Amino acid sequence: MRPCYRGRVTAVRDRSQEPSWDPARQISVDHRSPVPLYFQVASQIEEAISSGALPVGSRLDNEIELAGNLGLSRPTIRQAIGSLVDKGLVVRKRGAGTQVVFNHVKRSLGLSSLYDDLSSIDQRPTTSVLVNEIRNPPEEAARALGLSEEDEVRHLERVRFARGEPIARMHNYLPAALISPSDEALAERGLYQLLRSAGVHLHAAQQTIGARSATDDEADLLDEPAGAALLTMQRITHDHTGTIVEYGTHVYRASRYTFDLTLRGDS
């Protein structure tokens, strides 16, 4: 029986932003597994990044140290780190080693705003407000809100950032009289926070998720190459009386963002 080798991925932390947990993670490598060794290593480092055990700014041991700790060859470790670089999770910096630059945001589906979800996992959300105006709705928004194209709605367009990285471009349409948020309020708080503060009781929503390629404008706003994969989301939200209070159409960077769904079988 061939043994499993164990080692540690050790992060050198910025003492000015010392995390409250130990970022070191145990890595198990099974030589008997059909899963390539580099993939075993990469997937466990990715899990450490996703869970926050290796926060943004952490530095991994160099390839020689990792290879020695895990009983693996240096090319195997180089391939593992290379796959994380390709995913945008780490970067190799000359003289500084390999550094975690971003953890992929995973969002569980629920009636919550992106701002709230990012705040709950310490992603430090910020917002750039591009449009905040009263206007006539486009046909799709009018139909979703149950209005005519002659009615007025509030149109919001924003780019949401997580730890300084653009994550999503968001268009929202609401009945014009519902709320009148300032640009400052939209930059500092999530839309659902503002709605609840105004006495709107959010109850349920229908949501559709898809995917498409980024337009040139979207690619520029989201720091992606033209034609990059984007996740799309359309949502129609109702209050406790069944009244439609919001229609949202958002795009998310597929390289930085995923939706999580819990599926249950018959009991």
pLDDT, tens digit, for every residue of 42-94?
Answer: 888 888 877 777 777 788 888 888 888 888 899 998 998 888 887 777 887 76
Look at residues 144, 145, 147, 134 and name the one whose alpha carbon lies nearest to residue 177: 134
Tell me, what's the pLDDT at 122?
A: 57
Look at residues 99, 50, 45, 103 and name the one whose alpha carbon lies nearest to residue 76: 45
0.85 surpassed by pTM: no
Average pLDDT rounded to a whole number, residues 211-228: 92
Q: Which strands, in side-by-side order, build the sheet including 90-93?
A: 59-60, 97-100, 90-93
Q: Which residues contact 166 (CB under 8 A, 6 or more apart)?
A: 159, 160, 221, 222, 223, 253
Q: What is the token pair recorded at 64?
A: 């020689």
Tell me, what's the pLDDT at 216?
A: 94
Question: What pLDDT digit, counting tens, does each position of 9-26 carry?
Answer: 333 334 334 333 232 346
CATH 1.10.1380.10, domain 5-100, yes or no:
no
Look at residues 111, 108, 110, 107 and name the one whose alpha carbon lies nearest to residue 123: 107
Q: What are the residue ranges spanned by the domains of the chain? A: 5-100, 105-260
Question: What pLDDT digit, counting tens, does each position of 221-265 carry?
Answer: 999 998 999 999 999 998 888 889 999 999 998 887 766 555 555
Give the pLDDT band (50/70/90) at residue 118.
low
Q: To the nearest whole percent, how much of the chain has pLDDT over 70?
A: 76
Per CATH, 5-100 and 105-260 having the same topology is answered: no
Helices (H), ranges, the chain: 37-51, 63-70, 74-86, 114-120, 139-145, 183-188, 191-197, 216-222
Top-tier CATH class for 105-260: alpha beta
Q: What is the token pair recorded at 3?
A: 């043994």
Distance separating alpha carbons of residues 183 and 71, to the nearest angstrom = 55
Largest CA distance in the chain: 75
Tell me, what's the pLDDT at 64?
A: 85
Q: What is the token pair recorded at 116?
A: 């709230």
Average pLDDT rounded to a whole number, residues 161-165: 83
